[in-house]
């Protein structure tokens, strides 16, 4: 469910992704970042592995939003929820992991970038949830 728009791709509330760009460019494992429009970026890591990333400010990102994003943008490597007041469902996290797509808040993505299997990165709360379930 978009935060305030029915358009796809749910436009940034502030009209840009400067915070994301600044954080990613400062990451020690990222050597380049290319803006591809519509909230899509391609970044290259030190390992040489490029990632196609979609930045989303969707209020509540679920499996339906995941499917819509992939349908509209093609295959993705990661989806970043770029807002403190937005989030994603546990089902969407599990679904994306099963497709080797990372679904993260920006801080968790920063940690995941250090892993080859970045889509498997879980924060502490998620580890507790998936260990219980």
Q: What is the C-alpha separation between 67 and 61, in angstroms, rounded?
A: 10
Sequence spans of domains, the chain: 18-132
Q: What SS3 class is residue 35?
A: strand
Q: Which of 75, 73, 71, 81 is nearest to 1 (CA)?
A: 81
Tokens of 124: 């502490």
Q: What contacts 89, CB < 8 A, 6 or more positions away?
A: 60, 61, 62, 63
66-123 per-position pLDDT tens digit: 999 999 999 999 999 987 778 999 999 999 999 999 999 999 999 999 999 999 999 9
pLDDT tens-digit map of 25-77: 999 999 999 999 888 999 999 988 899 999 987 778 999 999 999 999 999 99
């Amino acid at each position: 469910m978009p935060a305030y728009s029915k358009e796809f791709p749910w436009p940034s509330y502030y009209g840009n992704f400067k915070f994301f760009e600044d954080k990613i460019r400062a990451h020690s494992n990222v050597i380049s970042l290319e803006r591809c429009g519509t909230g899509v970026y391609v970044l290259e890591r030190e390992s040489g592995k490029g990632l196609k990333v979609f930045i989303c400010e969707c209020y509540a990102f679920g499996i339906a939003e995941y499917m819509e994003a992939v349908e509209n943008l093609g295959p993705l490597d990661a989806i970043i929820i770029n807002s403190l007041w937005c989030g994603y469902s546990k089902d969407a996290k599990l679904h994306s992991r099963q497709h080797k797509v990372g679904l993260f808040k920006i801080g968790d993505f920063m940690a995941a970038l250090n892993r080859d299997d970045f889509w498997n990165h879980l924060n502490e709360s998620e580890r507790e949830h998936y260990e219980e379930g």
